[in-house]
A and B are shown apart, each in its own frame.
Chain A
């Protein structure tokens, strides 16, 4: 997430991580005092959220629409100025140019919103599921992308260039499905292979070197 300001520039945003997600969440920390209207716009036309925060000390702004990299999110002026309740459709605005999405961090609350420059005003996830193990290590949070092991097996080939198709229910050719082949020691190039992900299956084609029977262990993980 990078930010291009057209005015004010009192707030900026940083990604927590470089992961890509389709939903952006902006949260204001406990203790922040916002007494203004807040509007978010996508491409200057579609209102995504419009909330009035009269004396509310904590609020969440959620982009109700899916946001993808390349979108421009327009932040109404009155989030940036003194919070006097200006018409959000007037005046200069800050424009957020979305290059990556994870979550939005608001910081540097100069002026009315009060905080020292550069100090984050928030944020941790305050909704969703978090699971910790007995050692206090975080196992799962709202933003984790976890691998779910799907299937394993051994593919046996007997001839060079042999092509074997393995059925994997539900599989599609995208980055959510991952096929991994265990590398084995063997004759030069004999264990070379080519993997093709299909709908409902994947295909392993053995290399061109004759080396008798060769086994390939495969793993499939979905995320």
Chain B
């Protein structure tokens, strides 16, 4: 390293350097889905991502694809226990979400003339403390195991304020099939559950569940779920 800045945490992991690419919520205000479902992918651009939180105790199911009433194009996020989701129970208060966009090298410099800023080799501002260019930071990440659990898996960490936390998850399958005419009902669903313990404090559980109408014990297995829990910085 011949120039620039490099900051590592106590564990030796890089926190920031001159190649910082920031992630902003756009719009800045949180989107809200009070009932049922949300189709956040519609209308958003390539490179954008959706981070969703439950507003009360319950599951958020991700990647729910089937809607037999319409064109088989179902929502990507489900918050309530309804026609689409029979295995997860959604939060009664719905969920909130942010559309996240990455920005590289085009953060506005501080207008106050104070604070901490980092420029890249093209003289672009990549980090500005006073402009709050870091809007999210990681609270936890990892891979949830291959065991399939529906209700309250083994997460034990209690976070002080779940209303600031959003989750991104990734796994191999998230399928829902429901065709009553042919008595076909099968689903493999991944998601996560917000467990409010006391006030806004609580835990987040990564979940998956699968099965069909006559065999709800059949669970998807063999694949782990990668997760990232983000904290929104006001």
Name the CB-closest residue of B to A142.
B10
A147 pairs with B137, CB closer than 8 A: yes
B63: A residues at CB distance < 8 A: 183, 191
B177 pairs with A149, CB closer than 8 A: no
B129 pairs with A144, CB closer than 8 A: no
Known: A186-B65, A186-B73. A129 touches B228 (CB 8 A): no
* Binary B-proximity of A148-192 (CB < 8 A = 1, otherwise 0): 111011100000000000000000000110111111111111111
A175 pairs with B143, CB closer than 8 A: yes
Other than the known A133-B233, A145-B137, what 16 A-B pairs have Cβ atoms closer than 8 Å? Answer: A18-B156, A21-B10, A134-B112, A139-B129, A144-B137, A145-B138, A147-B138, A153-B47, A182-B41, A182-B76, A183-B41, A183-B77, A185-B74, A186-B73, A194-B172, A217-B46
Query: Does B16 sit at the interface, judged by CB under 8 A?
Result: yes
* Binary B-proximity of A117-136 (CB < 8 A = 1, otherwise 0): 00000000000110111110
Q: In the complex, A22 Cα to B12 Cα: how many Å? A: 8
With beta carbons under 8 angstroms apart, the residue of A184, A195, A221 that contacts B76 is: A184
Q: How far is the CB of A55 from chain B (nearest CB, A)?
A: 29
A21 pairs with B11, CB closer than 8 A: yes
**A 55-92 contacts with B by CB, 8 A:** none
B66 pairs with A135, CB closer than 8 A: no
Query: Does A112 sit at the interface, judged by CB under 8 A?
Result: no
Q: In the complex, A23 Cα to B63 Cα: how many Å? A: 39
Count class of interface residues, chain B: 35 or more
**B 46-79 contacts with A by CB, 8 A:** 46-50, 62-63, 65-67, 72-77
**B 1-44 contacts with A by CB, 8 A:** 7, 9-16, 19-23, 39, 41-42
With beta carbons under 8 angstroms apart, the residue of A147, A176, A187 that contacts B23 is: A147
Query: Does A140 sit at the interface, judged by CB under 8 A?
Result: yes
A185 pairs with B42, CB closer than 8 A: yes
A7: B residues at CB distance < 8 A: none
A53: B residues at CB distance < 8 A: none
* Binary A-proximity of B89-116 (CB < 8 A = 1, otherwise 0): 0000000000000100000000010011
The 10 closest A-B pairs by CB, nearest first: A183-B63, A21-B11, A152-B47, A189-B175, A149-B21, A183-B76, A188-B66, A194-B172, A154-B46, A184-B41
Query: Does A30 sit at the interface, judged by CB under 8 A?
Result: no
Query: Does B136 sit at the interface, judged by CB under 8 A?
Result: yes
Q: In the complex, A20 Cα to B11 Cα: how many Å? A: 8
Query: Does B200 sit at the interface, judged by CB under 8 A?
Result: no
B65 pairs with A188, CB closer than 8 A: yes
A184: B residues at CB distance < 8 A: 41, 76
B10 pairs with A23, CB closer than 8 A: yes
Name the CB-closest residue of B to A176.
B13
20 A–B contact pairs at CB < 8 A?
A103-B10, A133-B132, A144-B138, A146-B9, A146-B134, A147-B137, A147-B228, A148-B14, A148-B21, A152-B102, A153-B46, A153-B47, A183-B41, A183-B76, A185-B39, A185-B65, A187-B65, A188-B175, A189-B66, A221-B228
B16 pairs with A146, CB closer than 8 A: yes
Q: How far is the CB of A148 from chain B (nearest CB, A)?
A: 7
Q: How far is the CB of B197 from chain A (nearest CB, A)?
A: 15
Query: Does A45 sit at the interface, judged by CB under 8 A?
Result: no
B170 pairs with A179, CB closer than 8 A: yes
Q: How far is the CB of B230 from chain A (nearest CB, A)?
A: 7
Q: In the complex, A184 Cα to B46 Cα: how many Å? A: 12
Q: How far is the CB of A184 from chain B (nearest CB, A)?
A: 5
Q: In the complex, A193 Cα to B20 Cα: how many Å? A: 29
With beta carbons under 8 angstroms apart, the residue of B39, B49, B116, B234 that contacts A131 is: B116
Known: A133-B130, A145-B138, A147-B137. A182 touches B50 (CB 8 A): yes
Query: Does B176 sit at the interface, judged by CB under 8 A?
Result: yes
Name the CB-closest residue of B to A217.
B46
B172: A residues at CB distance < 8 A: 192-195
A153: B residues at CB distance < 8 A: 46-47
